[in-house]
Structure 1
Amino acid sequence: MSSPPALERDAIGTWDLVFFVVAAAAPLTVMAGIAPIGLAVAGPGAVPGYLIAGLALLLFTVGFTSMSRHVKNAGAFYAYIAEGLGKPAGVGAALVALISYNGIGIGLYGAFGFFAATTVADLTGLDLPWWAWALAAVALVWFLGFRRVTVSAKVLGFALLAEVLVLAMLAVAVLVKGGPEGFGMASFAPSNVFTGGLAGALAVTFGAFIGFEATAIYGEEVRDAGRAVRRATYIAVGFLALFYTFIAWIVVTAYGPTVVGAKAAENPGLVFAATDYYVGTLAVDVMNILIVTSSFAAVLAFHNAANRYFFALGRERVLPAAFARVHPRTRSPWVGGVVGTALAVVVVIAFAVAGLDPFTNLLVWLNTPGVIGIMALQALCSFAVAGFYRKRADLSVGTWTRLIAPVLGGLALTAACWLAVTHVDLLTTAGTTTNLVLLLPLPLIFLVGVLLALRLRAVNPNAYAMLTTINVEETT
């Protein structure tokens, strides 16, 4: 009997994994493009929202990384939820993950096209439509995703370092020159934190971390997976929580806590304006260039994650077996890459022909349900960890890891999902009907996955029994 298809073993290390997932979170895009929404809603009280989100996600990480020692599968959410809550829930989660990762990645082509078109036009005078830049990015992402996984890791590492450095440059300038109201901890004062805007700010801050959970997706390709996945996940969550909090506090300091909320509502580009004032026009030009590379890095990271879900589901026959093919030389899951690329081309062209905006339509309409879908899977995965360990009493894992942290994390993430859904208009700036159309597919897709699994159990019990068993590794 032939061995099942496999990705390249021992190809990447802990820091490569960190680059993948932190680049997916796109720190510069988050701070310059999304953070002003939270500041406009909650003023300086939005700053600790990143710490609150980080602490909740650390609870999720405790069980998530513990389970990564026992289950190594490129379809991470799929395998974890199937092992903990049952195979029908796992297949439903797999389809939601597949749609969410692809949706976020394709939506980010809109951001890339928008940023690239405006930046190049401003700096060189070359005026190309956004969709031309987006399609060029589609081709380059496909090429890099087709190559060995180490190639993507190097590209993402460079892009991540550059965007962190430009934000650090702003931070240093503000710390040296000081803000109009001086330095202070007003952002953390209870009177600023516990306001009516906190719920809306949390809906934004939790979404800023999306992508870090992809560490487990690369469990089959990383060296010393049990330790590497755990270390990379903790590093990613810890870094993002502290970095986001620090940079948001820097922006508040740059304007002053009494006026930053109004400034953010008035000018969503206030991070660029602060950079211009404190550092200079050249730094703004650099930031504009790096926000292009930041969005590209995020697209590449999500493309790679989606490819591995295609691969995992094809290998276990949830999707056609062709998706499980890997290239004989690069060991990349190339079939999923081709399908995802073709889908991106169709969507970009469709939005361009319809005359829709690349940022407020393509990015927002695809990313919003994608982000909420991943948040929902994180919550479900937390409860799945508790379910997995309840069935595996033979594994020597402490009560904190097997029960308390996963349940607390699951409750916190469930609350975060509820906040994101009830405040979705902050991201979409759309009405109830549009928001319903954007979010309704998520539960429907999950239900389709559950029904597919139940049908498979009825018509082919042997195939159903094999779900998640491929590359599941038991360790004590």
Structure 2
Amino acid sequence: MSVTTPEVPQEGAPSATATLRSGSLGTADIAFFVVSAAAPLTVMAGVAPLAISLGGIGAPVGYLLAGITLAVFAVGFTTMSRHIRSGGAFYAFITRGLGRPVGIGAALLALVGYTGMEIGVYGLLATATQDTVQALFGADVPWLPISLAGLLLIGYGGYRSIDFGAKVLGVLLVAETGILVLLAGGVLVRGGAHGLSAASLAPAHVLVPGTAAVLAFAFAAFTGFESTVIYRREARAPERTVPRATYLAVGFLGLFYAFIVWVVIQAFGNEEVVRAAGEDPSGLFFTAITVYVGGWAADLMHVLIVTSVIASLLAFHNAINRYALALAEEGVLPRQLGRIHSRHGSPYVAGIAQTVLGAVVVLGFWAAGADPYGQLLLWVNTPGMLGLLLLQLLAAVAVPCYFRRVRHQEGALRTLVAPITATVLLATAIVLVVSHIDLFTGASPTVNTLLVVVAPAVFAVGLALAWWLRVRRPQLYADFAAEPAEPAE
């Protein structure tokens, strides 16, 4: 329930002293936020065909390997979450392990990274809705009103209570995964195009040059899974629910992605699927579900891709609001952004600011005549994705550094072996993504270079901000990412 102070003048009035709704979210609720941010249906229908066309029928293993890597990262990450109670998530972990300058750089990188991941997706919402309207009604609609309507809808969802958002995401997530399960059922019942095959797991089909590109796409498909710790202050028994939700999200995404990619390979056949994916990547899943389930299911899939994008936007919006809230409480961002609604228990001012910023960016791209998918989505989303991968790498490095300095009873596997292994694997993932950045953007080398340098540039600005704070506002600097005086409820 919402907790307010006695000074609140009336029910539902905004308050600077209201708090987040502690104890609102269970394991499943937090997992819904994380998995919804990944947008499984959109990732599968929109991106997996490209992975198949580049990596061949061994593509499912790429998703498994990405999932295993992030599960290894989660071992140290969730172990440290039992010791860090701050609402700052990544930047709090990194600060405690690597020091305040790196932590402040990470805080700025997290805010910009998550913001980029959300705002860019308004371009995807526009194109997905346009495709759906065209497929169902044969009509063309302009993209700007769709994006602006999405901004208002997501802004309202973030304004409401966190448990309201969890319920909405639960429904949407069940729907989008349900249509993929329906496709899988149709393919399995009919035995695929030429019978079911395990050839995708054979080393000869996995150890091919295209697997590097598949891994780049696969790591991008998990973006946002680490946001479980952002909801610590609103979780029930966070020392248990946060780790459980993290493992549940990573495990589900890794296995589900690999299974669905394998299923669509069976739908076309090992020999035919690579050609089909190359000729019509955007239509691969729609063709498969039309053949194995029916045209009505393809129409439903069109609609559910739109709702999948909406769910992803709401999940990222809520995560950004809580990062902004934490940084406002730190004093790094204006204190006004830390105001919480007394009835809904939501960081509503941060949400309004995020919605306004999104509108400015969307209108700017529209005024410049940009393409909503090729530019708004890809040019804004890609730096955000790279920023979050860099945050994961810094967090992995922070874990053994933190446990080396504090007294604890955790084992070496969790505090040393797993995080060091994750560091190596995540560094490899970043190299793969950067070296295949043209596959994500389709842009010129100049544009790609600019997109790649955004994340390190933001981090560098954060380091400069840390220096300025240490000199000009030493008390704020000294208190940055400090542990709360009382344990979170």
Are 2:94 and 2:398, in contact at CA under 8 Å, matched by a contact in 1?
A: yes
Range 416-425 or range 4-13, more displaced: 4-13
Range 233-242 or range 113-122, more displaced: 113-122
Alpha-carbon distance between aligned partners in 2 of 1:474 and 1:191, rounded to the nearest angstrom: 52
Name the residue aligned to 2:380: 366
Are 2:53 and 2:278, in contact at CA under 8 Å, matched by a contact in 1?
A: yes
How far is the alpha carbon of 1:4 from its aligned partner? 8.1
How far is the alpha carbon of 1:454 from its aligned partner? 1.8
Question: Does structure 1 residue 104 correspond to structure 2 residue 117?
Answer: yes
Alpha-carbon distance between aligned partners in 2 of 1:411 and 1:449, rounded to the nearest angstrom: 24
Question: Does structure 1 residue 282 correspond to structure 2 residue 301?
Answer: no
Alpha-carbon distance between aligned partners in 1 of 2:450 and 2:172, rounded to the nearest angstrom: 34
Question: Does structure 1 residue 142 correspond to structure 2 residue 151?
Answer: no
Alpha-carbon distance between aligned partners in 2 of 1:345 and 1:335, rounded to the nearest angstrom: 15
* Residue pairs, 1:99-178, within 5 angstroms: 99-124=112-137, 127-178=140-191
Q: State the secondary structure of the residue aligned to 1:220.
A: helix
Range 283-292 or range 97-106, more displaced: 97-106
Structure 2 residue ranges without an equivalent (≥5): 6-15
Alpha-carbon distance between aligned partners in 1 of 2:97 and 2:258, rounded to the nearest angstrom: 33
Name the residue aligned to 1:376: 390
Name the residue aligned to 2:209: 196
* Residue pairs, 1:295-310, within 5 angstroms: 295-310=309-324
Cα 1:272–1:68, aligned 2, differ >3 Å: closer, same or farther?
same
Alpha-carbon distance between aligned partners in 2 of 1:285 and 1:39, rounded to the nearest angstrom: 23
Q: State the secondary structure of the residue aligned to 1:380.
A: helix
Range 434-443 or range 291-300, more displaced: 434-443
Question: Does structure 1 residue 264 correspond to structure 2 residue 259?
Answer: no
Are 2:337 and 2:350, in contact at CA under 8 Å, matched by a contact in 1?
A: yes
Name the residue aligned to 2:365: 351
Are 2:18 and 2:341, in contact at CA under 8 Å, matched by a contact in 1?
A: no
Name the residue aligned to 1:433: 446
Count of residue pairs brought into register by the alignment: 473
Amino acid at match of 1:345: A
Question: Does structure 1 residue 403 correspond to structure 2 residue 440?
Answer: no
Alpha-carbon distance between aligned partners in 2 of 1:219 and 1:134, rounded to the nearest angstrom: 31
Are 2:19 and 2:342, in contact at CA under 8 Å, matched by a contact in 1?
A: no
How far is the alpha carbon of 1:474 from its aligned partner? 7.6
Superimposed CA distance per residue, residues 118-159 of structure 1 (whole angstroms, 9 cap, x where no aligned partner): 212432455431211111110011011011101110110000
Cα 1:474–1:153, aligned 2, differ >3 Å: closer, same or farther?
closer
How far is the alpha carbon of 1:380 from its aligned partner? 1.0
Question: Does structure 1 residue 341 correspond to structure 2 residue 355?
Answer: yes
How far is the alpha carbon of 1:470 from its aligned partner? 4.7
Are 1:373 and 1:442, in contact at CA under 8 Å, matched by a contact in 2?
A: yes
Alpha-carbon distance between aligned partners in 1 of 2:97 and 2:487, rounded to the nearest angstrom: 14
Are 1:314 and 1:323, in contact at CA under 8 Å, matched by a contact in 2?
A: yes
Alpha-carbon distance between aligned partners in 2 of 1:328 and 1:6, rounded to the nearest angstrom: 7
Alpha-carbon distance between aligned partners in 2 of 1:192 and 1:446, rounded to the nearest angstrom: 39
Match of 1:227 among 229, 236, 240: 240
Are 2:17 and 2:340, in contact at CA under 8 Å, matched by a contact in 1?
A: no
Are 2:85 and 2:487, in contact at CA under 8 Å, matched by a contact in 1?
A: no
Amino acid at match of 2:437: V
Are 2:339 and 2:348, in contact at CA under 8 Å, matched by a contact in 1?
A: yes
Alpha-carbon distance between aligned partners in 2 of 1:128 and 1:260, rounded to the nearest angstrom: 32
How far is the alpha carbon of 1:258 from its aligned partner? 2.1
Alpha-carbon distance between aligned partners in 1 of 2:19 and 2:95, rounded to the nearest angstrom: 20
Range 321-330 or range 466-475, more displaced: 466-475
Question: Does structure 1 residue 215 correspond to structure 2 residue 228?
Answer: yes
Name the residue aligned to 1:40: 53
Amino acid at match of 1:216: V
Question: Does structure 1 residue 250 correspond to structure 2 residue 263?
Answer: yes
Amino acid at match of 1:334: Y
Alpha-carbon distance between aligned partners in 1 of 2:88 and 2:430, rounded to the nearest angstrom: 22
Match of 2:330 among 316, 321, 335: 316
Alpha-carbon distance between aligned partners in 2 of 1:113 and 1:433, rounded to the nearest angstrom: 26
Alpha-carbon distance between aligned partners in 1 of 2:461 and 2:150, rounded to the nearest angstrom: 32
Alpha-carbon distance between aligned partners in 2 of 1:261 and 1:360, rounded to the nearest angstrom: 24
CA RMSD of aligned residues (A): 1.6
Amino acid at match of 1:76: A
